[in-house]
Amino acid sequence: MPLIAKNTGGDRVEQPALEPKAYPARLVRVITLGLQPQLAWEGQKKDPIEKIDLTYELSDEFMVDANGDIQEDKPRWVSKTMPFYGLGAEKSNIARHYKGLDPTDACEGDWEKLLGMPCQVTLTKELNKKKKLTNYISDVTGPVSVKGYVQPPLVNDPTLFDVENPDIEMFNGFPAWLKERIQSHLKYNGSVLQGLLGEAPAPVANDPHVGNAAPPAPPAPDVPQ
């Protein structure tokens, strides 16, 4: 049975940005986004790169409804999308997140084993492109070590989605914006996910960064003369 996150969908109420500090959290969702384009840097074109999205459930911070009332069954989520490098890239964001969750590498690089793992997520509060105050993850460190503090378990089910080995039922449960992000990856055309969604691959020119259409059908047998 797939693990489907609970707090997606429905009418969205804009949430106030949290104050910048470290918050107790647990890793609740891991989604590989496939090969994604990168923005140019200082006028130089950058090659596409595999990306991953990590989502943390804050243990003691909750959503508010349209009336400003706290919804204790809906903890706040914060996410970060980043290049999916190997853990050998020690200064990368993905390596810092992994080491914050598993400093001794007890899980041997297995992100699925890290789901539900306690940690602390440090947030900043900055203006986004729409000039609204928004929280961003700046760091992930080990769990709270304060006498008497007991960190709550996850409220939502943990979710792992691998774009190369997709669970279609899980995918169908994602919000539209997340589906669009996953389907925008540069190898979507001709992919397993595209097939599971009942879409035929489009014919494209050979490109090392783009999935090719299905192979051509074999030639028809010779007709006897």
Distances (CA, A) of 79 to 49, 115, 118, 178: 19, 14, 15, 12
| pLDDT at position 88 | 82
Average pLDDT score over residue span 70-86: 94
Note the pLDDT tens digit of each residue in 89-116: 878 999 999 999 999 999 999 999 999 9
Note the pLDDT tens digit of each residue in 169-199: 999 999 999 999 999 999 999 999 999 999 9
Contact 35, 181 (CB under 8 A): no
Cα torsion 160, 166, 170, 172 to 10°: value is 140
Average pLDDT score over residue span 111-140: 94
Place of tokens 């900043």: 124
Write the DSSP assignment of 35-63 as a string of letters. Answer: EE----BTTB----EEEEEEEEEEEEEEE
Confidence class of residue 209 from pLDDT cuts 50, 70 and 90?
low
What is d(CA 118, CA 156) in angstroms, rounded to the nearest whole number? 14
- Residue 132, judged by CB atoms within 10 A of its CB (0-12, 13-18, 19+), counts as exposed
Place of tokens 């492109």: 129
Q: Residue 172 in 3-state DSSP?
A: helix
pLDDT tops 60 at residue 224: no
Structure token pair of residue 181: 């992000």
